[in-house]
């Protein structure tokens, strides 16, 4: 599923990111990586807190869930801060990309299939390991947990 998600993000971000003159070319890959991190971080957080029903809601709605809006806000804020993207551009990109990617994920299969494939069939430890592989393990202990969240935001 990680490969599918990466592919979906690449496909959906081409027009909004790579072909967007408001985003300098040298930041294209960083913006796409940030998008991956925001989506995977939200899904991982919801699974680890036992809120898989929220993931189902995200995938079955048209982008009008608090979790989707949270991802949009986090992504927009992050690319504004990290890459100096204009607020209106960042907000517009987030409002287009995240619901589009969730809609594409919905077409990939049922929620149980998505969760199982994200976790590699091994539950939360698989998700934590996946998070570590994509750079979310900020404290280097081999898993993704609240300590990493604190390091991400300097708590």
Q: What is the pLDDT along the chain (155 residues), one digit of tens a residue?
A: 567 677 888 888 888 898 899 999 999 999 999 999 998 889 888 888 888 888 878 887 777 899 999 999 999 999 999 999 999 999 999 999 999 888 887 766 545 555 565 554 444 444 445 555 455 666 666 666 666 655 655 54
Whether residue 126 is contained in a domain is answered as no
Q: What is the pLDDT of residue 38?
A: 94
Query: Quick check: 58 and 65 in contact, CB under 8 A?
Result: yes
- For 99, list phi and psi in degrees, rounded to 5: -60, -35
Tell me whether residue 129 is in a domain: no
Which residues neighbour 93 within 8 Å (Cβ) at sequence distance 6 or greater? 16, 17, 20, 23, 31, 75, 76, 79, 85
pLDDT of residue 65: 92
pLDDT of residue 120: 41
For the chain, the residue count is 155
Q: What is the pLDDT of residues 82-98, one digit of tens each?
A: 999 999 999 999 999 99
The verdict on residue 24 lying in a domain is: yes
Q: What is the pLDDT of residue 33?
A: 92
Total structural domains within the chain: 1
In a domain, 34, yes or no: yes
Say if residues 34 and 135 touch (Cβ distance below 8 Å): no
Where residue 140 falls (left for φ over 0; alpha for ψ -120 to 50; beta otherwise) is: left
Determine, yes or no, domain membership for 114.
yes
Query: Does the residue 27 lie in any domain?
Result: yes
Please check whether residue 10 lies inside any domain of the structure: yes
Give the range of the structural domain holding residue 85, as residue numbers without chain letter: 2-120
> What's the pLDDT at 66?
93
Q: What is the pLDDT of residue 69?
A: 95
Give the max Cα distance, the chain. 42
The pLDDT value recorded for residue 32 is 93
Structural domain includes residue 130:
no
What DSSP designation does 14 have?
Answer: I
> What pLDDT shows up at residue 23?
92
- Cα separation, 122 vs 130, in Å, equals 11
């Amino acid at each position: 599923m990680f490969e599918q998600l990466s592919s979906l993000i690449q496909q959906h971000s081409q027009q909004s990111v790579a072909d967007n003159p408001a985003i300098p070319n040298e930041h294209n890959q960083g913006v796409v990586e940030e998008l991956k991190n925001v989506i995977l971080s939200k899904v991982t957080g919801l699974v680890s807190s036992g809120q898989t029903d929220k993931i189902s809601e995200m995938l079955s709605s048209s982008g009008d869930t608090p979790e989707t809006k949270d991802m949009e806000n986090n992504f927009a804020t992050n690319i504004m801060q990290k890459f100096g993207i204009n607020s209106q551009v960042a907000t517009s990109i987030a409002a287009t990309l995240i619901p589009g990617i969730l809609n594409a994920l919905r077409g990939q299969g049922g929620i149980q299939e998505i969760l199982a494939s994200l976790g590699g069939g091994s539950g939360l430890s698989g998700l934590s390991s996946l998070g570590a592989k994509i750079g979310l393990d900020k404290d280097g202990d081999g898993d993704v947990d609240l300590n990493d969240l604190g390091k991400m935001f300097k708590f």
